[in-house]
Amino acid sequence: MSAIEARRNAERLLEGLENGGLSAIAAATLAEQLDPVIVYVIVSYLREIHPASDPAATAVLERVVRLTSTSPALIRKHREGGQDPVARWFESEYTYRAFRGRASEMLLLIVDKIES
């Protein structure tokens, strides 16, 4: 998958989880195609931006939980992504909150770092 395709699919997954525009099956299919770091960053971003303490976040968090608990392969992928040096670099240099409203910039940064 090219960097452009990876970014597009990552944006679709993030937006679909955030806005409910993807079915659980479609979200899982997209996540399976993405690099583990991208899956981890998307899930971490959504959990940070939509905390459980916010009642309006319930639907987003339910979709995230559904995605990350759907299949053993996606559970492993998420776990692997969190242990990857790129994810650790990102979390040491940036905060997810800094990308609130600018998620596409965050995804571009991650995809570029993975590709380099």
Residues 91 and 64: beta-carbon distance below 8 Å: no
Contact 68, 43 (CB under 8 A): yes
- What distance, in Å, lies between the first and last C-alpha atoms of the chain? 15
54-101 pLDDT, tens per residue? 888 999 999 999 988 878 888 899 999 999 999 999 999 999 999 999
> What per-residue confidence (pLDDT) applies to 109?
95
Residue with tokens 């960097």: 3
**What pLDDT, in 10s, does the model give residues 9-54?**
999 999 999 999 999 899 999 999 999 999 999 999 999 999 999 8
Is residue 4 over pLDDT 90?
no
pLDDT for 42:
96
pLDDT at position 70 is 77
pLDDT above 80 for 1: no
Note the pLDDT of residue 68: 85
Q: Hey, where are the domains in the chain? A: 3-115
| CB-CB neighbours of 91 under 10 Å | 14
User: What's the CA gap between 38 and 14, in Å, rounded?
Assistant: 10
pLDDT of residue 9: 94
